[in-house]
Structure 1
Amino acid sequence: MLALNRSLSCMATTCAHRFHGLSSCKRFSSLFFGDGAACTTEIQMDHQEETRGHFFSCKRIRAEGGKSENRRKMGKKDLIAKRSCCLFSTRFMFHPAVTLAAHLSMLPSPKHQEVPEQNDNKGAALEEKPGKGNVTEDHEGIASASWHVQKGTPDGGTTQRLKDSESAGALGISSSFRSGLSSITQGDLSIASKLAPADSLWTTEKDGAVRFRMEQTGPGSEPPITIHQLFQQTLQHCSNKPALAVKRDGQWKTITFLQYYQNCRAAAKGFLKLGLQRFHGVAILGYNSPEWFFANIGAILAGGLATGIYTTSSSEACQYFLENCEANIIVVEDHQQLKKILKVQHELPKLKAIVQYRGELQEKRPNLYTWEEFMQLGSDIPDSQLDDVIASQKVNQCCTLIYTSGTTGKPKGVMLSHDNVTWTTKAMKNTLGLIEDVVTVSYLPLCHIAGQVYDIWLPMNYGGTTYFAEPDALKGSLITTLQEVHPTVFLGVPRVWEKIQEKLKHLDATSSIFRRKATAWATAIGLRANYNRMNRNNSVPWGYTLANYLVLKKIQAAVGLDRCHTCNTGAAPISKDMLEYFMSINLPLYEVNGMSESSGPHTLSTQNAFQILSCGKDFLGCRTRIDKPDKDGNGEVCYWGRDVFMGYLNMKEKTEEALDEEGWLHSGDVGKLDQQGFLYLTGRIKDLIITAGGKNIPPIIIEAAVKEEVPIISNAMLIGDRRKFLSMLLTLKCNFNPDTGEPQDELSPEAVQFCRELGSRATRVSEVISSKDPAVYKAIQEGIERVNGRAESNAHRVQKWTILEKDFSIYGGELGPTMKLKCHVVLQRYQDEIDAFYKL
C-alpha cells in the first residue's frame, strides 16, 4: 500500500513538471484508505511562471476516484477546461493522449479585434476590447479541479471527467486561443497518433510538422483527418455517384467516386514504382482534366508533395519549381509542355521520370511514359505497401504546395498540411450550407488554390460532380460549357463575370423592343428584391415571382446559370456596377476572400449574410483582425485559424514576415471590419501609392470607380507612386483571338454600342486613339471628373490619362492566370507613356 502511495505521489509530481514545467511544489500529500475506499490525491502548488509574457498561477488540484473504477479500462473521456492549470490522472499519464501534449500549441491568446460572430460560431477566443491593443485576460489563480469517475456510460465503459478547471493547457492540449479544452472521447484521443512531433506553429522544411491549432468548441474543434480519410468518408455514401465528367469525342463521360479513388490509388502505386521519395515533389503541368486530379491525389497518397505549374510557365520557371520542391516526377499534358521540361532536364538531377497524359509520345526516351504505361507501372505493388504509406501520414505535415505568382520576387512555395486542406474545405462547406448533388465546372488553373478548392476538395466533401471545361475556356468556350452543364455552384473571377455580363447585354441590345422593356421591368424588380434580402427585409416586391419566372430565369438560362444557387466571385476586385447587374438578374455574386496562405477562402459571403462590396465574414472556425487601424478603421488584414498555412518551403525569412510571433497570418491586404463583422478590402499594402507629398492612396478604389463611370474601359491602372500627382493608364474593351487569347484591335460589341450611343462610328481601338475620337475622349474625361468630384482631397484626383493600344491579357503577360493585374509588368512595359505624364 505504501509503495502504491509513493508511486502515485511520484507520478503526480512528474506529470505536473512534465506538462507545465513547474519549478516548485510546496506541498504534496497522498492519502490512500484501502480496498474499496475512496482514493484521494492532493497537490498544493504555489507556482507562477511567465510564458511569452503571460502569467499563470497554479493553485490546487484535487483528484478523486474509486478502486474498482481506477482498475478498469477507461471509457469515454469528457475533459473540460477553461484556462491553464495542472490536471493529471495516474492512469491518464500512460494514455496515448499524453503524446498529444507534444503537438498541440500552447500560445498566449492572439490579439483579436472584437466583432460579432457569424452563424453562432462558438470558438472561444479571448478578444481585444475596442480601442485597446492588448488581449483582455483574468490572471487570477486557477480553481481546483475534480476528477470524477462514473459507471454505466453510454459507451459501455466508465466516464472520467475533469471539472471546473480554468485551463486549456491542462494536458498540453490547449487551443491556440487558450480558450479551453473541449470534451475528448476515447476516439478523439487517437488524434495523438495522427500528429507528428512539432514545437512551432510554422516550418520551412518539406518534412517538417507544425503545432496544431485546435479550439475548445465549434468547427475549430473538429478532429483532424488526412486527405485519404476525407476520400474514404465520401466513398461511404457516394461511391457510385458521378464524381468527374469529361468531354471526349464530343460526348460527356462520367467517372464515379469509386473509380476516381481506384485511379488515384493506381497513380500512387505508379509513383512508388518510379521511386518517389517521401516529401519530394510530384509536379503537374497541364490543363484541367481527370488525369490532373488522379496525379495530384495519387502523389499525396504516395507520400509526395503534389504541386501544379501554370501552363504558361517558361522552361526556366518550370526548372525553378522542380528544383524548389525537389521533384522526383513531373506529369505533363502534351508534347508542347514536354518540350519545356526536356529543355532543362539535364539541370534536374532529382527528376526520375516524366509522364505525358495526353497525346502520343513523339519520341522514345528513358523514363518517359504515356499515361497508360504509367497507370500499369504499379500493378505489382501490393495494396499493403501503399496502405502502409497512407497510414503513416500525419495531419500536421505537408501534402501539397501552392506556388505564389512571384510578382514581387521568386515564387514562394506555400506549404499546406492535410488538416489545412480537409478542415478548411469542410468548414467552408458548412458555412455555405452546400448539400449533395452539387455540380461545378473546372476551368480555373488547378495550380491556383481557388481552382483546387472549388474543383477538387469541395466536391469531395459533399459528393458533387465536377465537369471539365475545354482548354480554351477563358478564350471563349466557357459559356458553351455552362450552357451544357448548368452548374449549381460556380466561381468566377471578375473578368469572367464581366464576359458573361457583356454576353447578356449584347443579347438584350439585339432583342426586340418588347423584350428590352420586359427585361428592364424584371431586372428592376430583381435588384430591389436582392437588396431587400441583403438588408434582411423579408418583403418581396410586387411582381417578383412573375418577373423571375417569365424573364429572369430565361436570362440566366442563356448563359447556363439557371440552376446556380451559389455564384461566387474572388481573386480580384469587382465593381459595384457589376454586382448590381447580377443582383438584378437574380444571380447575386457572393464575394470570397482569401489567399494561398489561408488554404483558399477565409472570409465569404453567403445567401444569408452578404453586403455589396464586402468580402463577407469569417467562415466558421476562423478569425480576422485589423492590424494597426487608422482613424477610419483601415489597416492590415490578419487571419487566424486552422486554415493558416505551415510556411514557405525553404524560405525562413519570408515565413517570419508572413506569420507574427502569435501565429497571425499577415495578408498584405488593407481593409476594415464593420460593426457586423463584414470585411471590406481597400487595396494591397505593396500596391499602395505614396505620393511625393506623402499621401497614402489605395489605387483599387479609384480604378474601380473610373471603370464604373466609363463602361468602355476594360482596365484602369493608377500611377503616382513618389510622383507629384496621379495619372492613369486605360485600355478599351476589345475582342480576343479565340485560339491564343491575344487582344485584337476590334472593339467589343459592348464598346461599339457605347460609341454609337455617344454618336461615334468607331469600331476599332486604333480609330479611337489615332483620331482622339472627340465623343469617346469627352466621355472618358467626364467620367474621370465625376470620380474626382468624390475624391477626399486633391491628392486623390486623377489629373492625366492615356489610352493604350492593346488591352491587358494573359497572352501579353500583363494579367496573371486568374486575371490579376501584374503591375510591375505594366510599369516596365509602358515606362515611356508614364514618363510623358510628368514631363514639364
Structure 2
Amino acid sequence: MPFLYTWDEFMKLGDDVPNEQLDAVIDSLRANECCSLIYTSGTTGNPKGVMLSHDNITWTARTTSVILNPNRGEEILISYLPLSHVAAQMMDIWVCMSSAGTVYFAEPDALKGSLINTLKEVHPTGFLGVPRVWEKMHEGMKAVGAKVSPLKKRISDWAKSIGLQYNYSVMKGENVVPWGFMLSNNLVFKRVRANLGLDRCRVCCTGAAPITKETLKYFLSLNIPVRELYGMSESSGPHTLSLTEYRIGSCGKVMPGCKTKLVDPDEDGNGEICFWGRHVFMGYLNMPDKTEESLDEEGWLRSGDLGKHDEDDFLYITGRIKELIITAGGENIPPVPIEDAVKNEVPIISSAMLIGDKLKFLSVLLTLKCVMDDNGEPTDDLSPEVLAFCRQHGVKATKVSEIIANKEAAVYKLIQEGLERVNAQSASNAQKIQKWVILERDFSVTGGELGQHRQAFLSCSMTENKVGSIHV
C-alpha cells in the first residue's frame, strides 16, 4: 500500500538527510513564531486563520497530556475528526506525541456509523467524542433497550439507578458506594463498556458543542462519566476541563497556568468569558483589526461566550453575546439555556431555535428526531426513539410529515406539556415561550440552517443496529 511504512522503513527516510540540514531547521525555529494555522468556521464572516505558535502548541499539549494521563500510562487514541479542527490537531497529533501514544485512524465514514466498530476494535485509553457521537450512542442504546424483556428492563433500570446514585456521590466528593453497586457493575456496567469499546478508557470527554443533560445523565447512570471540556481554536483547544472533579452541565475548571475572567457580569453573574495563558494564540493571519477585537493589551482573549461560575468555581456556558435576543420590551434573553431546556424536557425534539428579537414574545421552531441518510442529511423517517413513543401512544405515523399533517394529538400534547414545564422555570414572563411550530425537516447544511463546521458534529448517524445488543 502506498505511503504505508513500518517504523524501520519510516526511520530510513531520513538517512539521506545530513545532520547539518536537520540542525539548521531546528536552529531556525523560535518559540514565539507560528507553527500551525487553523481556520475558524466563518459563522460570523469569512474564515480567519488562527496562528498558533510553537509555544502555544507544546505548552498546551504537555499540560493537557499530564492532566489526562498523570501516571504516564499507555495512551491509545482514535482519530476521526478532520485534522483541520483544533481538537483533532491537539489530541491526535500534539498530545499523542507528548505522551508517546498510539493513534488509530477511523474509517472515512466514522461519523456516519462506523466509529463504534473502530472503538470496539481499538479499545482506546481515552476518547474525546463530540456531542452528536454520544447522543447517537444514547439513542441507539435506548432503542435496543426498548425491545428487551420486562425482566431485563427491570434489572437494567435498577442498575442505572444505582449507577446514578454512586456518581452523584462522587460529584459531591463523598464517594459513597451504595449497596448493589458491585452487582450492577458486573451485570451491566462492565458489559456496556465492553460493547462500546470503552473498557480500557480512563477518561471519556466531550466538547466542541453543547451536549444535552439527558445524555450526560444516561451515561452517568451506566458508570461512564462523560466529562465536558471548553475552549476555542484561539486557545489552542482546551481552556477548562472536567476530570477528577466534575458537574453535570459544567465545562469544568480552568487549566493550571491559565486564568478566566467574566467581563460585565449581570445580576445573575453571567458575563463574557475571557481567557489568559500560554495557550492563547498569536493573532489572526493578516487580520490585525480582527486580532485587536479579540485580544486586549494584557493578552486576554475575548471568547464571545457568556458564562458564570458556581460557588466551587466550575464554569457554566450560558449563551453567546451575538445570539442574545432583545425583545420589543427591551429584555436581553440568552436563547441557548432555553433551547437546551426544551430539548431536555421533550426527548423527541432534535433541534430547537428560539426567535423573538424585536418581537413582543418568544416563539420556538422545533424539529423531531429523524433518521439521517448516508450523507448525514435528515430524512422524513422518524428516529427509533420517536417511533417507540408513537407506538406506546397508538400513533401509527412513521414519518415527520405524517405527524405534522395529522397534528398527532399525543405528540403535540407531549411538546406542549414540556414547554409548560420550561416556562414554569423561567426567570420572567418575557422568557416564556408563547408559540411553537414543528418544522418538516431537521436543520442541515444543505438546508441552509447550519454551517459546515457545525455539521461535522451533527452528521453522525449511528443507528441502533450499529451499536450492538446493549440492553440498557
TM-score by length of 2: 0.92
Report the Cα distance in structure 2 between the residues aligned to 1:723 and 1:820, rounded to whole angstroms: 29
**1:82 — aligned with what?**
none
1:537 matched to 2:178: no
Give the partner amino acid of 1:762.
A
Runs of 5+ unmatched residues, structure 1: 1-247, 267-378, 823-840
Give the partner amino acid of 1:492.
G
Instruction: Tell me by how many angstroms 1:806 deviates.
Output: 1.6
User: Could you say what secondary structure the match of 1:752 adopts?
Assistant: helix
Give the partner amino acid of 1:524.
S
- Asked if the contact 2:445–2:455 (Cα under 8 Å) also holds between the matched residues in 1, the reply is no
Report the Cα distance in structure 1 between the residues aligned to 2:48 and 2:156, rounded to whole angstroms: 48
Q: How many residues align?
A: 455
User: Could you say what secondary structure the match of 2:322 adopts?
Assistant: coil
Aligned with 2:416 (options 781, 790, 800): 781
Instruction: Tell me by how many angstroms 1:671 deviates.
Output: 0.5
1:523 matched to 2:164: no
Q: Deviations over 1:166-206 (max 9, x none)?
A: xxxxxxxxxxxxxxxxxxxxxxxxxxxxxxxxxxxxxxxxx
- Asked if the contact 1:436–1:464 (Cα under 8 Å) also holds between the matched residues in 2, the reply is no
- Asked if the contact 2:41–2:453 (Cα under 8 Å) also holds between the matched residues in 1, the reply is no
Report the Cα distance in structure 1 between the residues aligned to 2:79 and 2:292, rounded to whole angstroms: 34
**1:448 — aligned with what?**
85
**2:274 — aligned with what?**
638
Give the partner amino acid of 2:346.
V
Aligned with 1:703 (options 335, 339, 346): 339
Report the Cα distance in structure 1 between the residues aligned to 2:20 and 2:207, rounded to whole angstroms: 42
Give the partner amino acid of 2:299.
G
Report the Cα distance in structure 1 between the residues aligned to 2:233 and 2:185, rounded to whole angstroms: 38
**1:567 — aligned with what?**
204
User: Could you say what secondary structure the match of 2:268 adopts?
Assistant: coil
1:477 matched to 2:108: no
Q: 1:255 to 1:625 in 2, by over 3 A?
A: farther
**1:215 — aligned with what?**
none
- Asked if the contact 2:361–2:433 (Cα under 8 Å) also holds between the matched residues in 1, the reply is yes
Instruction: Tell me by how many angstroms 1:496 deviates.
Output: 1.2
- Asked if the contact 1:720–1:726 (Cα under 8 Å) also holds between the matched residues in 2, the reply is yes
1:809 matched to 2:411: no
**1:628 — aligned with what?**
264
Give the partner amino acid of 1:421.
I
Q: 1:399 to 1:479 in 2, by over 3 A?
A: same
Q: Deviations over 1:636-685 (max 9, x none)?
A: 11111000000001111111110112211111110012232211110111
Q: Deviations over 1:581-602 (max 9, x none)?
A: 1100111111000000100000
**1:337 — aligned with what?**
none
Give the helix-richer structure, 1 or 2.
2
Q: 1:625 to 1:654 in 2, by over 3 A?
A: same
User: Could you say what secondary structure the match of 1:767 adopts?
Assistant: helix
Report the Cα distance in structure 2 between the residues aligned to 1:520 and 1:254, rounded to whole angstroms: 49
- Asked if the contact 1:784–1:798 (Cα under 8 Å) also holds between the matched residues in 2, the reply is yes
- Asked if the contact 1:742–1:812 (Cα under 8 Å) also holds between the matched residues in 2, the reply is no
User: Could you say what secondary structure the match of 1:409 adopts?
Assistant: coil
Give the partner amino acid of 1:430.
V
- Asked if the contact 2:43–2:451 (Cα under 8 Å) also holds between the matched residues in 1, the reply is no
Instruction: Tell me by how many angstroms 1:816 deviates.
Output: 4.2
1:665 matched to 2:301: yes
Aligned with 2:74 (options 431, 434, 437): 437
TM-score by length of 1: 0.52
Instruction: Tell me by how many angstroms 1:758 deviates.
Output: 2.8
Q: Deviations over 1:281-322 (max 9, x none)?
A: xxxxxxxxxxxxxxxxxxxxxxxxxxxxxxxxxxxxxxxxxx
User: Could you say what secondary structure the match of 1:686 adopts?
Assistant: helix
User: Could you say what secondary structure the match of 1:466 adopts?
Assistant: strand
User: Could you say what secondary structure the match of 2:363 adopts?
Assistant: strand
- Asked if the contact 1:438–1:463 (Cα under 8 Å) also holds between the matched residues in 2, the reply is yes
Report the Cα distance in structure 1 between the residues aligned to 2:421 and 2:74, rounded to whole angstroms: 47
Give the partner amino acid of 1:719.
I
**2:150 — aligned with what?**
513
Q: Deviations over 1:5-40 (max 9, x none)?
A: xxxxxxxxxxxxxxxxxxxxxxxxxxxxxxxxxxxx
Q: Deviations over 1:736-760 (max 9, x none)?
A: 112x222111111111112222331
Instruction: Tell me by how many angstroms 1:809 deviates.
Output: 3.1
Q: 1:259 to 1:769 in 2, by over 3 A?
A: farther
- Asked if the contact 1:445–1:817 (Cα under 8 Å) also holds between the matched residues in 2, the reply is no
User: Could you say what secondary structure the match of 1:500 adopts?
Assistant: helix
Instruction: Tell me by how many angstroms 1:698 deviates.
Output: 0.9
Q: How does 1:794-833 map onto structure 2 within 5 Å?
A: 794-810=429-445, 812-817=447-452, 819=454
1:793 matched to 2:433: no
Q: Deviations over 1:247-293 (max 9, x none)?
A: x89xxx8965x766x49x76xxxxxxxxxxxxxxxxxxxxxxxxxxx
- Asked if the contact 1:495–1:819 (Cα under 8 Å) also holds between the matched residues in 2, the reply is no
User: Could you say what secondary structure the match of 2:229 adopts?
Assistant: strand
Report the Cα distance in structure 1 between the residues aligned to 2:403 and 2:27, rounded to whole angstroms: 64
Q: Deviations over 1:496-537 (max 9, x none)?
A: 111010111122112222221111111111111111111001
User: Could you say what secondary structure the match of 2:396 adopts?
Assistant: coil
Q: How does 1:413-428 map onto structure 2 within 5 Å?
A: 413-428=49-64
- Asked if the contact 1:814–1:821 (Cα under 8 Å) also holds between the matched residues in 2, the reply is no
Give the partner amino acid of 1:616.
G
Instruction: Tell me by how many angstroms 1:395 deviates.
Output: 0.7
Instruction: Tell me by how many angstroms 1:380 deviates.
Output: 6.5
Report the Cα distance in structure 2 between the residues aligned to 1:464 and 1:636, rounded to whole angstroms: 36
Q: 1:259 to 1:443 in 2, by over 3 A?
A: farther
Report the Cα distance in structure 2 between the residues aligned to 1:461 and 1:754, rounded to whole angstroms: 48
**1:69 — aligned with what?**
none
**1:552 — aligned with what?**
189
Q: How does 1:449-468 map onto structure 2 within 5 Å?
A: 449-468=86-105
User: Could you say what secondary structure the match of 2:230 adopts?
Assistant: strand
Q: 1:814 to 1:474 in 2, by over 3 A?
A: farther
User: Could you say what secondary structure the match of 2:323 adopts?
Assistant: coil
Report the Cα distance in structure 1 between the residues aligned to 2:178 and 2:446, rounded to whole angstroms: 45
Report the Cα distance in structure 1 between the residues aligned to 2:455 and 2:308, rounded to whole angstroms: 22
- Asked if the contact 1:692–1:724 (Cα under 8 Å) also holds between the matched residues in 2, the reply is yes
Q: 1:255 to 1:508 in 2, by over 3 A?
A: farther
**2:468 — aligned with what?**
none
Give the partner amino acid of 1:562.
D
**1:173 — aligned with what?**
none
Q: How does 1:200-211 map onto structure 2 within 5 Å?
A: none
Q: 1:433 to 1:486 in 2, by over 3 A?
A: closer
Q: How does 1:87-486 map onto structure 2 within 5 Å?
A: 256=7, 262=11, 382-434=18-70, 435-486=72-123
Q: 1:457 to 1:821 in 2, by over 3 A?
A: closer
Report the Cα distance in structure 2 between the residues aligned to 1:432 and 1:394, rounded to whole angstroms: 27
Give the partner amino acid of 1:546.
L
Q: 1:463 to 1:816 in 2, by over 3 A?
A: farther
Report the Cα distance in structure 2 between the residues aligned to 1:468 and 1:679, rounded to whole angstroms: 32
Give the partner amino acid of 1:443.
Y
- Asked if the contact 1:614–1:679 (Cα under 8 Å) also holds between the matched residues in 2, the reply is yes
User: Could you say what secondary structure the match of 1:579 adopts?
Assistant: helix
Q: 1:684 to 1:554 in 2, by over 3 A?
A: same
Runs of 5+ unmatched residues, structure 2: 458-472
1:731 matched to 2:371: no
**1:685 — aligned with what?**
321
Q: 1:468 to 1:255 in 2, by over 3 A?
A: farther
**2:467 — aligned with what?**
none
Report the Cα distance in structure 2 between the residues aligned to 1:681 and 1:259, rounded to whole angstroms: 48
1:750 matched to 2:391: no
Q: 1:517 to 1:399 in 2, by over 3 A?
A: same
